[in-house]
């Protein structure tokens, strides 16, 4: 048997947002129904960043993602986040594929935001705000565009150049967009935050009734993007309660005793599976706390692997000698 090796260019060639969203939505549902295995993330912490191991099994699919987060990497000409996924056959353990996980991570995270908004935002949402216009904002937009008729995008970033570049991307998709001050950006139907902040950047008084917020940036202990007052007023939905308490948007508020884990309304999977309703009133403020789950990565890795095989994309290599050729050391 051969192992398929897929570069980032290969993954980009075969993966679409529509397929990603279907795979991720199914993964959330299976998780809520107790039909997945997903041990907690394992962290190796360094002076300049960390490495994380994220294994998962669901629906006959298995594998692990090995991903870093090093904020100072751009100074060295390297991405802040880089990931590799090993996709295995659960029947034999054979590594079916080794693939770039960075693009998978970006797409599956974007997909989670789009799916959350599908269930939690008002159906007539038309104005979309983005606080943080780095790489993740792009896939969040692509996913939201699969669900809504977007009339206007309002963008804010501490880097004006990043915000302007994102606006150009929006306009290239035929979406009206502009850069604004952060308070104006927060005056929207759906707000997406994708910053690495460790202090609130979105204030309670900026959020109007009926707003849905996708809080994407907080993915480690101490990270926080939203004023704690927003959480006290909102219906909070998380991707995974254990991860969210440890390092999601709610982690700081819980550590301070502002809210308790019991104040979390539901997991997104519970809403998708129909175990709990999503948005129930137009005036509700809803928050989706996204930490990123290994089941998302492996569900999407399966899509990538199958399409790459169909399209004859990638390079196959033999990692192991067949038993007939085994020899003593």
The distance of Cα 299 from the centroid of its chain, to the nearest Å, equals 13
- Strands 3-6, 95-100: pairing is parallel
Buried b (16+ CB within 10 A) or exposed e, 264-300: bbbbbbbbbbeeeebbeeeebbbbbbbbbbbbbbbbb
Is residue 316 within 8 Å of 5, Cβ to Cβ?
yes
CB atoms within 10 A of CB 212: 27
Instruction: List CB contacts of 295: < 8 A, sequence separation 6 or more.
Output: 27, 28, 30, 31, 36, 38, 56, 58
**Using CA atoms, how far apart are residues 228 and 135, in angstroms rounded to an integer?**
26
Based on the residue annotation, tell me whether 22 is a catalytic residue of this protein.
Answer: no
β-pairing verdict for 198-202 and 61-69: unpaired
Catalytic-labelled residue, pool 2, 22, 35, 65: 65
Burial class for 202, CB neighbours closer than 10 Å (0-12, 13-18, 19+): buried
DSSP helix/strand/coil, 304: helix
* Percentages of the chain per state (helix, strand, coil), in multiples of 5: 40, 25, 35
List residues with catalytic annotation.
65
């Amino acid at each position: 048997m051969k192992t398929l090796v897929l570069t980032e260019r290969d993954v980009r060639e075969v993966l679409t947002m529509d397929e990603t969203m279907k795979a991720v939505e199914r993964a959330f549902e299976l998780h809520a129904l107790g039909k997945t295995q997903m041990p907690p993330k394992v962290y190796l912490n360094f002076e300049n960043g960390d490495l994380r191991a994220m294994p998962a099994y669901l629906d006959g699919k298995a594998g692990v993602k090995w991903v870093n987060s090093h904020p100072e990497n751009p100074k060295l000409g390297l991405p802040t986040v880089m990931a590799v996924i090993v996709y295995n056959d659960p029947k034999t353990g054979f590594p079916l594929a080794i693939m770039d996980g960075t693009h998978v991570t970006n797409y599956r995270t974007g997909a989670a935001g789009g799916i959350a908004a599908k269930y939690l935002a008002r159906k007539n949402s038309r104005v979309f705000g983005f606080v943080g216009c780095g790489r993740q904002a792009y896939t969040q937009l692509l996913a939201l565009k699969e669900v809504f008729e977007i009339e206007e995008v309002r963008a804010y970033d501490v880097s004006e150049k990043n915000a302007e570049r994102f606006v150009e991307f929006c306009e290239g998709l035929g979406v009206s967009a502009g850069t604004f001050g952060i308070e104006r950006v927060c005056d929207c139907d759906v707000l997406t935050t994708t910053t690495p902040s460790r202090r609130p950047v979105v204030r309670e008084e900026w959020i109007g009734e009926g707003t849905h917020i996708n809080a994407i940036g907080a993915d480690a202990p101490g990270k926080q993007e939203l004023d704690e007052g927003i959480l006290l007023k909102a219906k909070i939905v998380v991707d995974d309660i254990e991860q969210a308490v440890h390092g999601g948007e709610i982690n700081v508020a819980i550590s301070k005793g502002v809210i308790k884990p019991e104040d979390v309304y539901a997991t997104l999977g519970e809403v998708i599976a129909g175990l709990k309703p999503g948005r129930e009133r137009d005036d509700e403020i809803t928050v989706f706390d996204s930490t990123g789950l290994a089941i998302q990565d492996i569900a999407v890795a399966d899509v990538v692997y199958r399409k790459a095989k169909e399209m004859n994309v990638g390079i196959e290599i033999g990692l192991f000698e067949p038993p007939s050729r085994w020899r003593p050391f």
